[in-house]
Amino acid sequence: MSTNSNTGFVYILTSPKSEYIKIGGTALSPMKRIREINTSEPYAQFAPWKLSDFRQVNDWRTVEYHLHYVFRDKLVKKIKGQKELFSTSTFEASRELEMIEPELIISKPKINRMFQDESLVSYLDDLFRLSGLMNWLDYQESWTLSLFTSTSWGRFFTINIGLHEVAFSTYNKPQQINMVYMDDLIDRYKDSLGWVLQHNGGFVEGSYKSALEGSVSVYFEGGFGTCQEFLQLPGVRRAVVAYWTEALLELQEREARSINARHHNYNAVAELSKRIRLGGYQPKSLNKNKV
């Protein structure tokens, strides 16, 4: 990650109480900034603001200035004390955000590497949809996504919620090993238990001291096609949603961050979010003009 003092985020916020969108930038995490915006005038009158689109960039002031300049004719002038509300659509704002110079995007090589493997992206797509993580965009850093980490066995990705892992897939082994953490109500589904055992897998209860009571790590071998098959098994969605949602709600109540927050890949999440909104991956067309 860049050590540039301007490293930060540009974001687009929406609210059900506002016909306008907010376009801004910050050196803080979006979670912290949104909390401030929701309690500070003149923006608090339109709360709650939610994260619609975002990028982590090397120079957030430059990108923010560029976006404000592009939409200068859409600036809302009748609300005093603000310069970040615009009368334009999230589609138009996101399209402009998409045109940021790729050199400004943090962790761009890892994102490119991820999207070169359609099977990996398809699995993450399905996992994010099934678990409901896209409903928790405002609480990134309470949960984290890291890519191609050099932990034991090597990882394609790791998802953490709070203090521990809830999903990963390895690549430095003769056979890919996958883990998904969930509620132990999966024990009720015998066919699913049998499937895991047939794929050289197993179940480990109480894997993490920080985990909620009644949870289990489910391991199995196979590529990402096998992973997607696993997500379709009876009871898997129910067990994943039960654990992940409860864990996230607890973190939300405590306003707690994951110990892995510094490794979170915001831009990979932004790309996955776009893919999910569009219903599938669309190759990115980058504008080569500097902001």
Is 50 exceeded by the pLDDT of residue 284?
A: no
**In the predicted model, what is the mean pLDDT of residues 149-173?**
90
Cα–Cα–Cα angle for 211, 148, 53, nearest 5°? 80
Q: Over the stretch 239-264, which tens digit does the pLDDT of each residue have?
A: 999 999 999 999 999 989 888 899 99
Question: What pLDDT, on a 0 to 100 scale, did the predictor assign at position 150?
Answer: 80
Question: What pLDDT, on a 0 to 100 scale, did the predictor assign at position 4?
Answer: 62
Q: Over the stretch 18-71, which tens digit does the pLDDT of each residue have?
A: 999 999 999 999 999 999 999 999 999 999 999 999 999 999 999 999 999 999
Confidence of residue 149 (pLDDT cuts 50, 70, 90): confident
> For the whole model, what pTM was predicted?
0.90
CATH number (3.90.1150, 1.20.58, 3.30.56, 3.40.50) of 108-278 reads 3.90.1150
Distance CA 203, CA 167 (A): 14
Is 50 exceeded by the pLDDT of residue 148?
A: yes
Torsion sign across C-alpha atoms 30, 34, 40, 42: positive
Is 80 exceeded by the pLDDT of residue 287?
A: no
Question: What pLDDT, on a 0 to 100 scale, did the predictor assign at position 255?
Answer: 86
What SS3 class is residue 128?
helix
DSSP state letters, 174-233: SS-EEEEEEEGGGGG-HHHHHHHHHTT-EEEET--TTSPSSEEEEEEE--HHHHHHHHTS
Domain ranges in the chain? Answer: 8-104, 108-278
Q: What percent of the chain has pLDDT above 90?
A: 86
